[in-house]
Copies of this chain bind each other. A is one copy, B any other.
Amino acid sequence: MARKQDKSLRELLRVAPGRRVALDDELADSTPGIEERDVATALLELARQQLRELQYKLYADGRFGLLVVLQAMDAGGKDGTIRHVISAFNPQGCHVTGFKAPSAEELEHDFLWRIHQAAPRRGEVGVFNRSHYEDVLVVRVDNLVPRPVWSARYAQINDFERMLVANDIRVVKFMLHVSRKEQRKRLQERLKDPRKLWKFDPADLQKRKQWNAYRAAYEDALAKCSTRHAPWYVIPGDRKWYRNYAVARILVETLEDLPLRWPSAEVDPKKIVIR
């Protein structure tokens, strides 16, 4: 029964190609598909076990890779999602890459150059904490390149992701969507906790002032780059228990869709004698 309920989660949260999702407060605070926190927490634990099993088979099979893109506003929960969901994977075979402001060398290349280098190999899971989408988000909001340059990137991103998928690297993208109110609460928590205070970056306040410009940039990116081959999911993020559960379940179902199999053995076990 849980199964049937969960099955619809991908459909509930997937952005249909071309559809513009309004990233409003109501959506951030919603919990589509599940109401009870306790149930979600138990199902998260189950999903974590499934992820580990599925990853092991992905690795053994060796024909497919998985790329997971995480995007969010500041304090939107990217780190928490990695800690609570991605940590289920065996670290051997799962690489997390954080993309910060590009280095001087990276800026000399096209914007996908550093991204491509971090793409997962077959058999592995690659997780991007921020990604090439920053090149149509912060770059657009802060006018870091002219409009014709960033506006051409949506199609370039779609082409790039299509190529990955055609080469057996599945792509799944999560926008962790928090409300402005929730962001305020989390930034204030950082100010109060000496273990978190160092994470507080005054630049985050500047970005907070640009909330509406970021929201518009996100809504555009989701509408233009949620494709059949590389879907975007908008994950309501004000409730961490829901966010973790939803990301984990969608990852499970994405991996379950792959026709994974155990490789045939190189040897006939009956004929092997170990001395």
Copies of this chain per assembly: 2
Contact A198 B60 (CB under 8 A): yes
Q: Does A255 contact B (CB under 8 A)?
A: no
Measured between beta carbons, the chain B residues less than 8 angstroms from A202 are 266-267, 272
Q: Does A89 contact B (CB under 8 A)?
A: yes
A198 to B61: give the CA distance in the assembly, Å.
9
Task: Please judge, given known A-B contacts A192-B269, A267-B202, whether A96 and B86 are in contact too, CB under 8 Å.
Answer: no
Segment of A132-140, A154-162, A183-191 engaged in the interface with chain B? A183-191
Q: Point out which of A82, A127, A184, A265 has the most chain B C-beta atoms below 10 A from its C-beta.
A: A265
Measured between beta carbons, the chain B residues less than 8 angstroms from A195 are 56, 60, 262
Q: Does A263 contact B (CB under 8 A)?
A: yes
B-facing mask of A182-226, CB < 8 A → 1, else 0? Answer: 001001100110110111111001001000000000000000000
Measured between beta carbons, the chain B residues less than 8 angstroms from A272 are 191, 200, 202, 205
Q: Does A87 contact B (CB under 8 A)?
A: yes
Measured between beta carbons, the chain B residues less than 8 angstroms from A166 are none
Measured between beta carbons, the chain B residues less than 8 angstroms from A129 are 92
Given contacts A191-B269, A208-B275, 9 further A-B contacts (CB under 8 A): A60-B199, A83-B90, A86-B91, A87-B91, A89-B91, A92-B129, A95-B95, A194-B262, A200-B265
Q: Residues of A at under 8 Å CB distance from B? A: 56, 60, 79, 82-83, 86-87, 89-96, 98, 127, 129, 184, 187-188, 191-192, 194-195, 197-202, 205, 208, 262-267, 269, 272, 274-275
